[in-house]
Chains A and B, each alone.
Chain A
């Protein structure tokens, strides 16, 4: 080998294979480092400008006091709070499921002896109420001396609760609110063990625009924070693929006639329709848009994946595709046992909120087992991205990012023969999508 050749070979080796390639696994991690599992093409402003600061590159530590506190010795029960829409809300069925899922986990833990012989007990609080009731309820939980709490489903109530949790330094595990902004608050007292609407949107956008090759999408969403924030990531992702929505219109919860909105959708000539809202209204919309002659495929958010949706939409539900934060039909022993035990205990099947609350409660119980009865230490093990990273829950492997958001696997469903059939979302294909952007450019 000639020296020059050798030198060139080494230089080529250096420049063609960056050092990180040698690390192998690190290279893969780096590719995942975009916040929120965002592929390169979807990084905000990524193709134009590097941001001055990416806030979630690092973990936000909690540097406050509290780790030195000695656990009480006179406890007769270990109290865990639960904040949810338990009565008086359209979300109450889901809230009840959430409570039941958490209850089942607690009962199983108590059967195993609780925390060093002390039983766990849930202190449920209803988040439904006007005027920021969730804030007051978290204060009450703190007064009740809970060690951590689970909550809640509604976006607004969860945000309100989170801020109080920060002030009270009370660990919080969210198991039901997919609002992407929830974990973008840099509050080191909350983890979320359910995939958010960012993940759902990415999956839907990829499926709709890349797999199904649609390009004109009309969105009809709930006129509330759930609808507004939920569709936000979908809209941005679609736009970054080069497909601005052709229409985005709203309806109010409780509405039963959607003629006006559907007429506008028809005028926009969409390839497909995306619905973002609760099961009842979206099912009614589906019925009405079919009745008004719209034959386009219909996609929806995870809340469509509900028996209520199937019941109301009936045959028209066939072919509707949604996302779901887990797959309840997987043949995992712990999931199978959960489904069986839940149905035995409560008389009907668990839903997504029950399943995630079950995992959430178990995470809290594990944190207490590991750290003892000390809120700050419990927080440490829940947020260190080591101790509970990759937690094997009944909803699958839970992977937290630096904002303590669950960026684990998400699923998709399609209604076939009156049932939701689950399938994994197709992989993202950046190159083709980027190409499509180029193709779309005027």
Chain B
């Protein structure tokens, strides 16, 4: 026995057993598919990963200050729900319009002005109570409202309805509406559409006349003399207004279930939103975020960046910062630093996660966004508004 169990063999045996046990447990933990119930709550996921801090500590912006402009931080969140004036808790979109805020809910258009909410519904002329998108024409001040049942122009109190039966609108479900000078663009269930408010002419862009696989569009934005369309299953369609020519950007790997290379093009062909600012096109998908500077694409996924979730409902760029509405909170990103706003479960308190490279800091916040399932965002000056699955929130820039 003595010969058999030597010191060396014992050590090696123990080591092997440890390795064996470790690998067993490791595989058991890692390989088992997660179910929705087992899926970690965001608090848990984040706290496992990030160091702690406080809001006060954040004031010096250590770790996020860059050579150019520091990432803005927002706080002092104020939340509005059905209990204090919204027609419904579910708010699809929000748009700041001067001194008032327009919120699209599942039960009408809510307008916040002089600290009061007023709701406009079908009786007032709204095409459908489900308001998915709002934009305001900088030229005329007219409000364009995309609903589940048509498009409204709301001008100085008058609702004008465009639908696929009384106008050249492609389809009545308007996922996104934007104003680009005198033109109005929509992303609908039946294709992208344009409406020239001067000539009254409608354009419809589908697989019949644009490089789309199918006529399903989800988002649209304007910038740099171009219109960008988030085409569901078709990547991004670019339309140059001057030449009236299209081109498309699709995921080069051509597969829906994978992303072969993150930076080879748009992350996924199923795109949910587009936004353009500072010569950068940002593309949202349910599979991650993409950034295009006109030459190169860069992709961002939640497993190796500060992006809190790949599931991005909506996004909006303001200068160098893009705001991302995800199912795990509100995220902002300037190409370098990620800031995420989340709500602590069963609490009015929130937290801010700041990620720069591999360095992440968590800051406690006494107020929080209404809900982590964020659907819409808009910013103006020092104020930010978001719409969520359960209410809207107003935040202020922390000086």
Contacts and interface: CB of A to CB of B under 8 A. Distances in A.
Q: Do chains A and B touch in the complex (CB under 8 A)?
A: yes
Interface of A: 1-4, 6-7, 10-11, 13-14, 18-20, 22-23, 26, 29-30, 33, 35-36, 44-45, 49, 51-66, 131-132, 134-136, 139, 142, 156, 159-160, 163-164, 167-169, 180-181, 184-187, 225, 380, 383-386, 402-403
Interface residues of B, number: 76
A9 B350 CA distance: 55
Contacts of B299: 52
A3 B13 CA distance: 10
A254 to B, nearest CB: 18
Interface of B: 3-6, 8-9, 12-13, 16, 19-20, 23-24, 26-28, 31-37, 39, 42, 89-90, 92, 128, 130, 132, 148-149, 164, 170-173, 175, 188-191, 214-216, 218, 232-233, 253, 255-262, 268, 270, 286-288, 299, 301, 303, 310-311, 327-328, 371-373, 388-390
B16 A11 contact: yes
Given A14-B16, A160-B216, A66 B286 contact: no
Nearest to A35: B257
Name which of A3, A45, A53, A139 has the most chain B CB atoms within 10 A of its CB.
Answer: A53
A139 B24 contact: no
Contact of B190 (A58, A61, A131, A385): A131
A441 B255 CA distance: 24
B301 A131 contact: no
Contacts of B23: 14, 18-19
Contacts of A54: 257-258
B270 A185 contact: yes
Given A6-B9, A131-B164, A186-B270, A55 B36 contact: no
Contacts, number: 215
Given A10-B12, A167-B148, A135 B287 contact: no
A26 B28 contact: yes
Given A7-B16, A62-B327, 14 more contacts: A14-B16, A35-B258, A45-B253, A49-B261, A52-B259, A53-B262, A55-B256, A55-B257, A59-B39, A61-B39, A63-B328, A64-B327, A64-B390, A186-B270
A10 B11 CA distance: 12
B217 to A, nearest CB: 10
Contacts of A4: 9
B189 A65 contact: no
A23 B28 contact: yes
Contacts of A65: 89-90, 371, 373, 388-390
Contacts of A26: 27-28, 31-32
B165 to A, nearest CB: 9
Given A19-B24, A26-B28, A139-B148, A60 B286 contact: yes
10 contacts: A6-B4, A23-B27, A64-B389, A132-B189, A132-B190, A164-B189, A167-B132, A167-B173, A180-B256, A181-B233
A53 B303 contact: yes
A391 to B, nearest CB: 16
Contacts of B190: 131-132, 135, 160
Contacts of B89: 65
Query: Which of B33, B253, B303 has the most chain A CB within a 10 Å cutoff?
Result: B33
B308 to A, nearest CB: 11
B152 to A, nearest CB: 15
Contacts of A163: 173, 175, 189, 216, 218, 232
B261 A132 contact: no
Given A136-B171, A156-B214, A164-B148, A59 B20 contact: no
B130 A64 contact: no
Question: 10 shortest A-B CB distances, which residue pairs?
Answer: A132-B190, A135-B189, A19-B23, A64-B389, A132-B171, A3-B9, A64-B373, A51-B258, A65-B390, A184-B256
A136 to B, nearest CB: 5
Given A3-B3, A26-B28, A136-B171, A55 B311 contact: no
Given A26-B31, A181-B256, A66 B36 contact: no
A46 to B, nearest CB: 10
Contacts of A10: 12-13, 16
Nearest to A135: B189
Contacts of B288: 53
A185 to B, nearest CB: 5
A167 B92 contact: yes
Nearest to A53: B259
Given A139-B149, A386-B35, A22 B24 contact: yes
Given A19-B27, A61-B36, A159-B232, A132 B188 contact: yes
Given A26-B32, A45-B253, A58-B34, A186 B286 contact: yes
B335 to A, nearest CB: 19
Contacts of A11: 12, 16
Nearest to B19: A14
A53 B292 CA distance: 20
A44 B233 CA distance: 18
Contacts of B132: 167
The winner among A131, A168, A380 for most chain B CB atoms within 10 A is A131
Contacts of B218: 163
A316 B175 CA distance: 49
B347 to A, nearest CB: 15
Most buried by B among A3, A23, A168: A3
Contacts of B262: 52-53
